[in-house]
């Protein structure tokens, strides 16, 4: 199936064939995560949680239910989510006195507890995270992993003595997310400071990690929020200073969507044959295919394949042997579709010469290595990651466009991220948003594309 011809159809086919998720569950927007997809998400989760704990974040897990009183404490916050909240109104057959919400995000319940945990400046900074599911009644067209009503994410929350320390934490999270997104997943992105009307409800500033999908639309894959004192004043989160005074804490919150990250990996790296996975997150990193022409060679070739598998596993590589009845061509097709980074072919000639044929999924390049050099597979993994990263970055850069007229916008919409000028007037913003969504505002001076008055650069794009 041609990915460029119909990305949506290709994407849904890959989700099913590669056992990523099954969307046939009878509640819209709540897919079933299958083994291939869930393994990849767990690898992301482990990688991220390790970095968070190295930066002194404490692992936590909060209840999925939030009392209505707690959720309504921050009025701007609840106003931003009210349309999307799932409410629990019954316990068995009995109507509840107060409704309970399925968490749409966790600022309010976590900060309820922060108010109990924080007493002194010695308790700060306090940084916690949880990996969990959140629930939002998404009324737009749902897409598996991209826009749903239940989705998996990691959310972090912090409290600090002052604004400067809160900003330091935002920069640290930016470094952590960069390692997750660019280094592990090989996905390019741009960080956009959201305009005032598109900030997270209750935030002072919102920063979004946006990547560019092959159809020219942007996908928001992570966010960071500077909350200032907006929540601490509502939840009475104070600390005693060294001089005995009491001050409200400064706060930040942040999180990547594991589902959207997985969707980006699938769409950005994949090709007409299926998935292409960065080796570190691949459920299976090496598939070994015995190629037998004569029955008399079967036992020797299988034994050779087993030795190769054992050697790979001894250095921590996830490897399997496909010794099924299908023809080699059918096996190649299957494992290419699943995105396995490296295929090892072992035939009579390889056996005779004590070599192994290596095929890369990202390039299709075929080479031979000595059996004793099989540990070099790890170097090939590094080369694959570098190649995927460079290839994705080249495509991303092609999609960074600059419009000097409305005609340019018309030509560029749906082809990438477009830089235009805006004068800061609401009526001009509304005209721009007839073409695409405003992702961010910048400091660079640029004449407004609508009224030609002095303004500043903004970035716009069609979004998911």
CATH number at residue 422: 3.30.110.30
Percent of the chain scoring above 70 in pLDDT: 100
Its pTM stands at: 0.96
CA 219 to chain centre: 9
Whether 142 and 254 map to the same domain: the answer is yes
pLDDT exceeds cutoff 70 at 1:
no
Instruction: Yes or no: say if 154 and 127 are a contact pair by the CB < 8 Å rule.
Output: no
Whether 200 and 349 map to the same domain: the answer is no
pLDDT exceeds cutoff 80 at 75:
no
What is residue 295's predicted lDDT score, i.e. its pLDDT? 83
Out of 243, 269, 295, pick the residue that ends a domain: 269
Give mean pLDDT, residues 33-40: 98
And the tokens for 282?
Answer: 């691949």
Tens-digit pLDDT profile for residues 303-357: 999 999 999 999 999 999 999 999 999 999 999 999 999 999 999 999 999 999 9
Considering its fold, how many domains does the chain have in total? Answer: 3
What is residue 294's predicted lDDT score, i.e. its pLDDT? 85
Residue 109 is classified by DSSP as H
Tens-digit pLDDT profile for residues 273-304: 999 999 999 999 999 999 998 888 889 999 99
CATH number at residue 178: 3.30.930.10
Answer whether the bond into residue 125 is a cis peptide, omega within 30°: yes
Q: Is residue 404 part of a domain?
A: yes
Number of Cα atoms under 13 Å in the Cβ half of residue 223: 22
**What range defines the domain where residue 415 resides?**
400-461
pLDDT exceeds cutoff 80 at 51:
yes
What is residue 442's predicted lDDT score, i.e. its pLDDT? 83
pLDDT exceeds cutoff 80 at 446:
yes
Instruction: Yes or no: say if 23 and 92 are a contact pair by the CB < 8 Å rule.
Output: no
The overall average pLDDT reported for the chain is 96
Whether 252 and 300 map to the same domain: the answer is no
């Amino acid at each position: 199936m041609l990915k460029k011809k119909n990305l949506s159809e290709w994407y849904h086919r890959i989700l099913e064939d590669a056992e990523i998720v099954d969307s046939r569950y009878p509640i819209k927007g709540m897919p079933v995560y299958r083994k291939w997809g869930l393994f990849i998400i767990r690898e992301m989760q482990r990688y991220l949680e390790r970095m968070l704990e190295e930066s002194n974040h404490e692992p936590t897990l909060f209840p999925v239910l939030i009392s209505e009183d707690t959720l309504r404490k921050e009025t701007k916050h609840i106003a931003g989510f009210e349309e999307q909240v799932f409410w629990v109104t019954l316990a068995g057959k009995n109507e509840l006195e107060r409704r309970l919400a399925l968490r749409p995000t966790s600022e309010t319940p976590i900060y309820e507890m922060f108010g109990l945990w924080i007493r002194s400046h010695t308790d700060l900074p306090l940084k916690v995270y949880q990996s969990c599911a959140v629930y939002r009644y998404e009324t737009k067209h749902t897409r598996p992993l991209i826009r749903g009503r239940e989705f998996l994410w990691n959310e972090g929350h912090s409290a600090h003595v002052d604004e400067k320390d809160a900003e330091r934490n935002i920069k640290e999270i930016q470094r952590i997310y960069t390692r997750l997104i660019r280094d592990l997943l090989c996905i390019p992105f741009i960080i956009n400071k959201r305009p005032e009307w598109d900030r997270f409800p209750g935030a002072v500033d919102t920063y979004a990690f946006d990547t560019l999908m092959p159809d020219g639309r942007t996908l928001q894959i992570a966010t960071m929020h500077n909350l200032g004192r907006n929540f601490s004043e509502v939840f009475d989160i104070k600390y005693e200073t060294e001089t005995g005074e009491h001050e409200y804490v400064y706060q930040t919150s942040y999180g990547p969507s594991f589902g959207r990250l997985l969707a980006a990996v699938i769409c950005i790296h994949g090709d007409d044959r299926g998935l292409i996975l960065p080796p570190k997150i691949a459920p299976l990193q090496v598939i070994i295919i015995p190629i037998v022409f004569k029955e008399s060679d079967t036992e020797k070739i299988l034994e050779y394949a087993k030795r190769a598998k054992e050697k790979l596993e001894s250095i921590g590589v996830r490897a399997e042997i496909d010794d099924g009845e299908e023809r080699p061509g059918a096996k190649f097709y299957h494992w290419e579709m699943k995105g396995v980074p490296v295929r090892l072919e072992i035939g009579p000639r390889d056996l005779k010469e004590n070599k192994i044929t290596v095929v890369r999924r990202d390039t299709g390049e075929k080479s031979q290595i000595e059996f004793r050099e099989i540990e070099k597979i790890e170097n090939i993994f590094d080369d694959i990651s570098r190649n995927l990263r460079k290839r994705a970055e080249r495509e991303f850069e092609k999609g960074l466009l600059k419009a000097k007229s409305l005609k340019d916008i018309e030509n560029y919409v749906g082809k990438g991220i477009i830089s235009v000028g805006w004068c800061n007037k609401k009526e001009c913003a509304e005209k721009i948003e007839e073409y695409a969504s405003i992702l961010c505002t910048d400091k660079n001076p640029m004449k407004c594309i609508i009224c030609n008055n002095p303004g500043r650069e903004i970035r716009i794009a069609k979004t998911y």
